Chain A
Amino acid sequence: MVNGYQATSLKEALKILAKESVTPYSGGTDLMIDPEEHATFLFLARISEMKNIIEDTEYLRIGAACTFTEIIENELVPEILKEAAAQIAAPAIRNLATIGGNICNGSAKGDSALILFATDAKLRLVSSRGERVLPIAEFYLGRKKTALKSDELLVEILIDRINLSNYYYKKVGARDALAISRVSFAAILNVADGKIVNCMTAFGAVSDIIIRRPDIDAMLVGKTTKEAKVVKKEYIAAYDQAIIPIKGRISAEYRKAVCMNLLRDFLESNGI
């Protein structure tokens, strides 16, 4: 017997969340791994405000309760996110699992979270007290720890409407389906008028939080490819210091080597 509330509007869901101890349940694919026996669930799948994928002048807004299948099939979603989403688990899980769950899980191995780090996405968190918009990097506090308050729901993910077409993405899992990332890397680099206008990289599954270092990436911004080559060594050295993989089932040495190889390949593929 499963206890729970079937919320049909965001308002209703937030009201329940404010006064009761409930476990938000979107796709349920993470919750089922270790089911809490006496939990009361707050089912989110019928809340239309959390199921939209729309664009406004500033952002692409993805409802947190959108499944990966919905994301893959939506025309507005950038290719980098689609590619990552398509490598998550297997079709049956992608039909249920949601992007909001992947983020709120708090894991640095979340394949969609990596893309949201690389694109500096923001999260719209709403409670009956009000709402706030938090950059994703501030949402993650540590391993399985997030800034989400007990009465808050992640409602939308906001991705800046910048050009994301020149991207680099690689997931390294233990096999080609149903695999948790061992290392993942995403990067975007845009050049305008001969100069790098943005460079955004993120490394997943290597430490407690996805690694996103705009301060290091800034070394390349404003430079021509030729100028970037001059600082390449320094740039790589900075990441070499910044990436300290934690030891897991797979060695830290392996993870580090893959991160550095992919970073170099990303630069080389952009002529740097």
Chain B
Amino acid sequence: MENISGSIKKKDHEAKINGSALYVDDHLMDGMLYGRMLHSAKAKARITKIILPELPEGYLIVDKNDVTGVNRVAIIIHDTPVYAEDTVEYVGEPILMVVGPDDQVVETILHKIVVVYEEKIPVLDMLTSDTVFFDYNYTKGDMDKALAEADRVFIETFQTGYQEQAYLETQGLIAYPQDGRMTVRGSMQCPYYVHSAVANAIGCEGKDVQIIQDVTGGGFGGKEAFPSILACQVAVAAKKANKPVKVIFDRREDMEFTSKRHPSLSTYKVAIKNGEITGMDIDVLFNSGAYTTLSAVVLQRGLICANGVYRIDNLRVGGRAVKTNTVPCGAYRGFGAPQTFFAVEMIMDHIAKEMGLDSLELKEKYMVKQGDSTSTSGKYHFHVPLPEMIQRIDELTDYRAKRKQYQQQIGRYRKGIGLSMFFHGCGFTGSGERDIIKAVAKIRKNPDNTVEILASNADIGQGLKTTFCKIVADTLGISYDRVYIDNPDTDRVPDSGPTVASRSLMTVGGLLQRAAEKLKKEWQEGKEQVIEEHFVEPDFVIPFNLKDFSGDAYPTYSWSVNAIEVEVDTLTATTKILGAWGIFDVGVPIDMNIVMGQMEGGFLQGIGYASMEQMDYNAKGIIRNNSFSDYIIPTAVDVPNLVAEIMNNPYTHGPYGAKGAGELPLVGAAPAYVEAMENALGANLNKVPFTPEDVMKILQGVNT
């Protein structure tokens, strides 16, 4: 283990343990009002009338007419209304906000409001959508030729469902006007995203907006774009009331009406000639929901990962993110990759079975290695540690022997083991870092020789305050206690980009390391010094072109192999997880405890996605799984034997050799789990979550 990897007390440890850490709901301000949102009850309708009760003194209604800027939230495409205009496009769409000094009274008023809708027929099923938000296609080699010359073509469709981030702290923000400016503070991942959105909605210059992140109780992608929407609504309300306004979502509201993972349908056509895979023709469909929000970037990543970790010379990948009258989907750990990695791992498994091979044998044959070309004709520039990861998994689990042993089973309990191999492309897709984000980070040395880190990345529980400080302290050769970082405040920190895509530590951490190296050289005792660093794309990167998806989509990749062993009770169709093993390469861990926490937590989230996290809408487009008793996430008891190991594979261009870590552990759990279920049940499976009800159907099919 490298020195830097040694674990240290987290910067936010004391405050979170002793209760002094203040989350947005802990903040009270003089004259503060409480806001609650009126959400659309219909999936698609024209609002013909809104009948308001008489409002007590001090209470007000905020809606589209109060938006002083543009009634659109600036995300990638500006299509999400701040407040609904004449129509509503999904159940939950915010129509107006009731604001006032007493939360209970606000609630009472909310219930008295009558909205008269002229209902229209909603499009709920993505297969029937008539609106394509994003449509991307790319090719490599000659897919038509591969199909024409194939002796056999495998065709199969794979389905994945919603997944809710289920962070502990629900969405919440406070907005307050002050000296002609607007401040918004609260739970978020990306202060500068919120900053542009608020300026656009209230119609002011960027300098008149201040965004402060408060201690945030988890994000997992769910606080990437959504806080921009809520911030616009709260800021408009605060501007109208000319007082601070706080909005905290309750759990049901948060689960039903905020972004979640895109459900997907992916169809794979795989050409085989002379027992060799000669090409993959892949069609991916993502359910965006009613507005575009982050669907473009989620789809891009999904498509780039569509051939998995395999060398496929002829490739044609097409994908669409389509509109439906459902809640807009957004970012969630892995964004886009868990969907297509599930599909490609399963199709490889199914092809192997047809060829009379074990899936691992087939996968090993096509696995990429350093120097190979990526799906987008970029290059795997660095060592690919998959072979040693597979070996380690085999040592830990006796995978190959068990896989054979479990093929033929009878009796009540049947075991199975499955394996997946996958990557996370580190950082923003394509040239986003270079062309869009252009991250800037600063460090400031104070006269007392303490050093403050100034960056816009948020600690959302992933330990970023600690790892940033470790990098700077170690580079400067000063004690960790002398380096500090506060929650980002856009009045104080430069735009070092959003806290997404497992980019913060690798990219911004890299800028901080460079800044610290410079400061070390220029260090003047007792003087204030500020060092600023700007993002520079590494020289080796083959520039990415989004038009044809060519070049290096990512500078480097984090790698992983997972194995999961299950035991199915054929009487109840329930499944016990006997063990889950993950080998993870995230470069050099900047703090082993933090990285292990990330790996174990993400892996468990992935197991939940695969097995029990089920969410769906009914015929009216209403999501009913809106509480923790209806939306089941795994507990520690459900996977007692969860083993995460780190494989050190330093990244030459990352700070201390680190690369992206946060997303990786979720990405490959689903295919490992479902492969294990196939091994136990002796059937081909093609969907997640794969629930006890699905198992029962297979068992009844097999047994009767």
Residues on A lying within 8 angstroms of B by beta carbon are 90, 170, 172, 174-180, 182-183, 249-251, 253-254, 257-258, 261-262, 265
Contact = CB atoms under 8 A, between A and B. Distances in A.
A254 B693 contact: yes
22 contacts: A90-B635, A170-B572, A175-B632, A176-B635, A176-B637, A177-B638, A178-B635, A182-B692, A183-B572, A249-B624, A251-B693, A254-B692, A254-B696, A257-B573, A257-B696, A258-B572, A258-B573, A261-B570, A261-B571, A261-B572, A265-B412, A265-B571
Interface residues of B, number: 21
B36 to A, nearest CB: 17
B629 interface: yes
Interface string B224-265: 000000000000000000000000000000000000000000
B217 interface: no
Given A174-B612, A261-B572, A262-B571, A250 B693 contact: yes
Given A249-B624, A254-B692, A172 B572 contact: yes
Interface string B594-633: 0000000000000000001000000000001100011010
Contacts of A174: 612, 632
Contacts of A179: 632
A182 B632 CA distance: 12
A257 B692 CA distance: 11
B87 interface: no
Contact of A175 (B570, B612, B624, B693): B612
B693 A180 contact: no
A249 B638 contact: no
Given A175-B612, A251-B693, A180 B635 contact: no
A257 B576 CA distance: 19
Contacts of B700: 257
A109 B612 CA distance: 20
B634 interface: yes
B611 to A, nearest CB: 9
Given A175-B612, A175-B638, A180 B629 contact: yes
B625 A258 contact: no
Contacts of B638: 175-177
Contact of B574 (A172, A177, A253): A172
Contact of A177 (B572, B629, B637): B637
Contacts of B696: 253-254, 257-258
B637 A249 contact: no
Contacts of A175: 612, 632, 634-635, 637-638
Nearest to B625: A249
Contacts of B412: 265
Contacts of A170: 571-572
Contacts of A262: 571-572
A180 B576 CA distance: 17
A258 B573 CA distance: 8
Contacts of A180: 629
Nearest to A248: B630
A177 B700 CA distance: 27
Contacts of B571: 170, 258, 261-262, 265
Contacts of A253: 696
A48 B683 CA distance: 57
B385 to A, nearest CB: 33
A170 B573 CA distance: 13
Contacts of B572: 170, 172, 183, 258, 261-262
A184 B572 CA distance: 10
A254 B572 CA distance: 9
